Chains A and B, each alone.
Chain A
Amino acid sequence: MIEDGVVHIVGGFEWIDFIHVMGGILAGFLAGLIPGIGNTIMLFMLYPFLMESTLFQMLVFYLGLASVSQFSGSVIATVFGIPGESSSLPAVREGKRLFERGQGNFAISGAAIGSVFGSFISVCVIFAVLPFVIHGLMNFYSAEIQFGILWIATCSVVFLLGKSWKENAVVFALGAALGLVGQHNVPFFIFGEGYLPYDMFPSLYEGLPLFPVVVALYVFPTLLNTIEQFKDFKYENDRDYFDDSSPLLHFKHWWQNKWASIRGSIFGAIVGLVPHIGTGIASNFSYAVEKKRAIKNGSYREDGHMKSLISAETANNSCTLVLLLPLMLIGIPMSPSETILISLIEMNSYVINWRISIEQNFFERLTYWFVFINMVAVVLCWPAVKYVNVLKKLNMVHMIYATGVILVGLVLYTGFQQYDMWYHFTVMIILLPLGYFLRRTETLILLIAFILQDKLLMSSNVLYNLHFG
């Protein structure tokens, strides 16, 4: 398999693919390092650079971004105790304690080497399950299966995210209602011809544009929360990251915890498939299992437990590739950033489904790049970690403001590209107060509902007409 991979990368090598991979790696490195940005916002910010990209280039860029952000996210979680995403929580707990007792360098290398190991395991899982999945794919398009997958995805975000499922359900309904603006085949009170300014903005008949909605109702509340988080933030320790150990010593440290990596990889590849929250669940579940094992056999250390950390970090990388499986085969996104990815793919006039993925050999090509991405992350990003102390000198709040300004520019730019700049800008301005009002809620749910509502509506309509209509 490795030989095939080398032959593929050398034989089918294209510079433009390589540039996308390296761009994705760099973007992922930054997405993980800058708190509050994450994969979803970073992908969104870089869309202008992907407007001319092919479907495969967008996928490989995303793979680089999603894989490497896990790695760099765990670095700031370990060194500064700042959680990037929910999957970084084990790194905040264990990594920070390990860092405080001078083991931070081994915590970071363990997570990085574990991630590469996890990538190999997920490649094996993909190759093992793909033939069976393809065999049963024709049935995936049946109305019942489509309906089932979409509603499992919906219920998982409503019931498993945030503080209250009731609040989530309201936010979801709001997102779906916004997604239904301009749709003719919905009840008149949602279509709202009497009170929405369809005459002034006839483009409303085509629905609300994605970019302004995402910026106003997802990015804006996220940035507000991040600013609040950093308003009174002080670095708890003055210890700088330092590492003078040889790579061999790092590898030996990881080898001592190889079984934790294996367990984490397997959990990641399986549990990670829970829609939209898979990475967080995979990471926290692996962490919980490993910690429980350690407590049971008396090896758990309150001042930082390496095995638990490595298992969690391996798990979240292991599920990155597996998570792409449903997207590439049936076009259903399994994570928030994939939801944005599929919208960008559609904006670039591409369609993704199993026929295209298999005909163009996407899986094989992506798996080789995936292993390459993880190896580059270790070889290039790991040495770059020593510069992480520079982050202490940056004003995070200013960076968040800069991100906001870039995104407003992006709304204008994408609006201009679609011959409707002021309409896009107006939609964003009108929705900003709602974004402010929703800042304490999980607006990710709103975003998912906004993007998936047409698929949900169609599958529900089809199912109703098939059996009851």
Chain B
Amino acid sequence: MTLLQRLSATIIALTITVTGLTGTAMADKKILDVIVASSNTGNNWKQGVMLQKALTERGYDSKLVHTANCHKNKKYIASTDRPGFYFKSGSSWISDVVRKKCFIAPEVTKDVSYVTPFFYRSNAMCVRKSDNIGSNLKDIMAWIKAKDRVTIGTFNNLPDDFSDLGKQFGNKWKKVAYNGSSNTLKGFLAGDTDLMYLGYTAREINTPDLHCFATTGGVNGTAKFADLFPNWGLSSLVEFPIVFGIKLDDAQKADTKAVMADMMSNDPALKKYYGTAFIPTAAELEKRGLGLADWWQDAADWMPGGVKADTVNNWKAGKLQ
């Protein structure tokens, strides 16, 4: 055997050993991918990154997959063998159905299953501190009432339903829609609109120039929409995503549910993210008894113009109409 042959044999043997060891190590790990089926600029992506990191730290073989939209997500689900999950709120699901004619119903096939509620987040209405309106609720309401025309910045998949507020205040309300929550906030801080209606997250709470005076759930000392705007059709809207399992058997579903509860309660980054914005998380929502039926109701609430009961039943059965 020449030196070159011996060297080659050694390299091949080493490669086989290393590959084998790596393969064995990977085979021992439970696989659970985090799939983000929405844009990479907002809160969903941020949570996806934190969840994947927390899963890896807990010994899972986990990848962060960005499928970006409903159609690609469908194709990904059809093509993958790796167990994983994605989360989807009623608002996002309705947006897919209305705008993109894309539809993935859980529990219709084995590929996509219901796992657990994910979180329950209030929406908020905010003013700029730099407008010097004051933090007193009466002053804010008087300021709104004094305007002939009120512009409100929000994201573009919200039902166009601010006329109820116009009736309450006796003025005209105009929705100004931005592509995504990040653009909405930037536009608002730059002084585009009078008010802003957005999800109540740590970002909204920690932005120095922002004062969110009312929320859906009345959290963090804010007024409750239902009390402040009793006739407003959107006063009960929340962001309520659930976790959809992909290619999970019953044992994997139970495991995913447990690890979600664990991560959201014990992972420092996730705990801080949900805690700061007073967002009840998976385990607490399970305790409250929230589940798939509530998610379908939330989705129906987001449908512009509302939906009939038959339509929701068709959705549940996996039919678009």
Contact = CB atoms under 8 A, between A and B. Distances in A.
Q: Do these two chains really belong together in a complex? A: yes
Contacts of A255: none
Contacts, number: 80
B41 A351 contact: yes
B100 A205 contact: yes
Interface stretch (B1-9, B66-74, B287-295): B66-74
B88 interface: no
Given A206-B72, A346-B40, A351-B41, A138 B190 contact: yes
Contacts of B76: 419
A139 B186 CA distance: 9
B99 A351 contact: no
A321 B122 CA distance: 43
A465 B100 contact: no
A436 to B, nearest CB: 29
A418 B175 contact: no
Q: Tell me the interface secondary structure of chain B in the complex.
A: mixed
Give the interface size bracket for A toward B: 20 to 34
Interface stretch (A25-33, A235-243, A271-279, A454-462): A454-462
A353 B182 CA distance: 11
B250 to A, nearest CB: 27
A419 B102 contact: no
Contacts of A145: 190
B98 A184 contact: yes
A333 B318 CA distance: 43
Interface string B184-201: 001101111100000000
Interface string B159-201: 0000000000000001111110011001101111100000000
A142 B79 contact: no
Contact of A141 (B41, B177, B189): B189
Contacts of A454: 179
B182 to A, nearest CB: 8
Contacts of A350: 40
B235 interface: no
18 contacts: A139-B190, A139-B191, A140-B190, A143-B190, A145-B190, A184-B100, A185-B156, A205-B99, A206-B68, A206-B70, A206-B100, A349-B40, A418-B72, A419-B72, A419-B75, A458-B183, A462-B176, A466-B174
B174 A469 contact: yes
B151 interface: yes
B192 A466 contact: yes
A141 B188 CA distance: 9
B71 A465 contact: no
Interface of A: 138-143, 145, 182, 184-185, 198, 202-203, 205-206, 346, 349-351, 353, 418-420, 454, 458, 461-462, 465-466, 469
B45 interface: yes
A206 B45 CA distance: 18
A184 B182 CA distance: 21
Interface residues of B, number: 35
A142 to B, nearest CB: 4
B187 A143 contact: yes
B319 interface: no
A143 B189 CA distance: 11
Interface in B56-105: 66-72, 75-76, 79, 98-102
Contacts of B71: 202-203, 205-206
A462 B179 CA distance: 10
Nearest to B180: A458
Contacts of B174: 465-466, 469
B189 A138 contact: yes
B222 to A, nearest CB: 25
Contacts of A142: 187, 190-192
A90 to B, nearest CB: 40
Contacts of B66: 349
A143 B79 contact: no
A349 B45 CA distance: 9
B68 to A, nearest CB: 8
Contacts of B191: 139, 142
